[in-house]
Structure 1
Amino acid sequence: MQDFLLIAGAHFLALLSPGPDFFLVARSSLAHGWRGASGACIGIALANAVFIVAAFGGLSVLRAGSTAFLVVQLAGCAYLFYLGWLFLRHAGTSSLDATPDTGKAHWRSGLAMGFVSAILNPKNALFYVSLATVLASRQTSTGAMTAYGAWMVLAVLAWDMAVALAIGSAALRQRFARALPLLERLSGAMLIVLSVALLANVVHQ
């Protein structure tokens, strides 16, 4: 129980820290409602599941300093910059209709964007590898690690869906109708700043 509380607590604090995934879910929710953003939420959860399986399975290819980790960092920089540019480019073109777009094409697009956003976030890799190292040092059983991994995937999905539900409600979306272009520009700028900061960190390593 003590190990579970440690893992769950650390994971929840990590979820509270806004990152690229948060901005993606928030923007999708405002533009398309919570149903439209659910694809992005599931994509993010699936990417986290990949990291958890890799880290808890003992794979070390994404450890800090490795070539694979450097590739992920550079790809993450490029994708964050691209995502920020998309937000800036399309700011003001999203329509907050009473019946938001929840079609399969948009949902699949959100799923892909959510997965790529999370899988190219090197902080996710470092976080789960760190947790796996802690659990390994405590000689945690395979069954317990499987349960912890499943819990974290569900926690990521639940948190992102909660964000989508809170931001994507019809009343809130209509209230933010005029502010959406500004919010999209701010989100785009923030993503670009994150990409530049990440690149600077890679260069100075």
Structure 2
Amino acid sequence: MQQFLLVAGAHFLALLSPGPDFFLILRYAIAQGRAQAALVCVGITLANGLFILLAWFGLMVLDEQGVLLRSIQFAGCAFLLYMGGLFLRHAGHRPLVAGQHNTSTAAASLGALLAGLTSGLLNPKNALFYASLFAVLNSQATPWAIQGLYGLWMIGLVLGWDLLVMWLASQPHLMRRFEHYLPNIERLAGALLILMAIGLLSALVQD
């Protein structure tokens, strides 16, 4: 139980720190509506689940400086720069008033799912966190089945937290408030993502 509380606490604290996943959910919830934002949440959860499976089976914890993890981190830097540029370029360019969302189509739904999946897969924080966490669990000889239960808990928590963020951001009274402030929020988000990319890239180069 003590180990579980430590794992769950560390994972929840990691979820609380805003990153590309958080800003993507926020943007979709405000500008596209709950249905599209929920699919983004599902995509992000699938990406987290994949990282957990990779770490659980030891494919990412054998060497934290391995080619797979390093490749994900460099790709993540490029993705953060790309996302940051999009936020800065398109700040405030989408309607936010309820009822002005585009009609949902299969293509739009697939695009939302893939956006969440891509964001989750190329989020450097996700890869590094799960690789480090399962490396610690393996070093403590935590049973394989217990690690699997931890993984299921974390997958459920990611989906629940992301859906909560989506629900809060899509509330009508919050949308009306965000309508005025969203351009500045998006510019701030873009700047933060670019700074995150520069900081991560600097650390990778120094290694």
Q: Compute the TM-score of the two structures, normalised by the length of structure 2.
A: 0.91
Residue matched to 1:113: 115
Please list the CA deviations of residues 81-112 of structure 1 after superposition, one character each: whole Å capped at 9, or x if unmatched: 11111112211211113123461333321211
Q: CA deviation at 1:116?
A: 1.2
Residue matched to 2:29: 29
Q: Compute the TM-score of the two structures, normalised by the length of structure 1.
A: 0.92
Pairs within 5 Å for 1:54-133: 54-60=54-60, 63-99=63-99, 100-101=101-102, 103=104, 104-133=106-135
Q: CA deviation at 1:3?
A: 2.2
Q: Quick one: distance in 2 between partners of 1:199 and 1:137?
A: 28
Deviates more, 1:103-112 or 1:11-20: 103-112
* Structure 2 residue matching 1:93: 3-state secondary structure: coil
- 5+ unaligned residues in a row in structure 1: which ranges? none
Q: Quick one: distance in 2 between partners of 1:51 and 1:155?
A: 15
Q: Quick one: distance in 2 between partners of 1:102 and 1:6?
A: 44
Instruction: Please identify runs of 4+ aligned residues in structure 1 that moved more than 4 A.
Output: none
Residue matched to 2:6: 6
Amino acid of the structure 2 residue aligned with 1:170? P
Q: Quick one: distance in 1 between partners of 2:90 and 2:18?
A: 22
Q: CA deviation at 1:15?
A: 0.9
Q: Quick one: distance in 1 between partners of 2:201 and 2:73?
A: 8
The two structures, once aligned, show a CA RMSD in angstroms of 1.8
Q: How many residues align?
A: 205
Q: Quick one: distance in 2 between partners of 1:62 and 1:75?
A: 20
Q: Quick one: distance in 2 between partners of 1:170 and 1:158?
A: 21
Deviates more, 1:62-71 or 1:191-200: 62-71
Q: Quick one: distance in 2 between partners of 1:60 and 1:189?
A: 30
Pairs within 5 Å for 1:142-161: 142-161=144-163
Q: CA deviation at 1:143?
A: 2.0
Q: CA deviation at 1:137?
A: 2.7
Deviates more, 1:128-137 or 1:164-173: 128-137
**Residue 53 of structure 2 corresponds to residue 40 of structure 1:** no
Q: 1:140 to 1:50 in 2, by over 3 A?
A: same
Q: Sequence identity, in percent?
A: 49
Amino acid of the structure 1 residue aligned with 2:185? L
Q: Quick one: distance in 2 between partners of 1:199 and 1:70?
A: 11
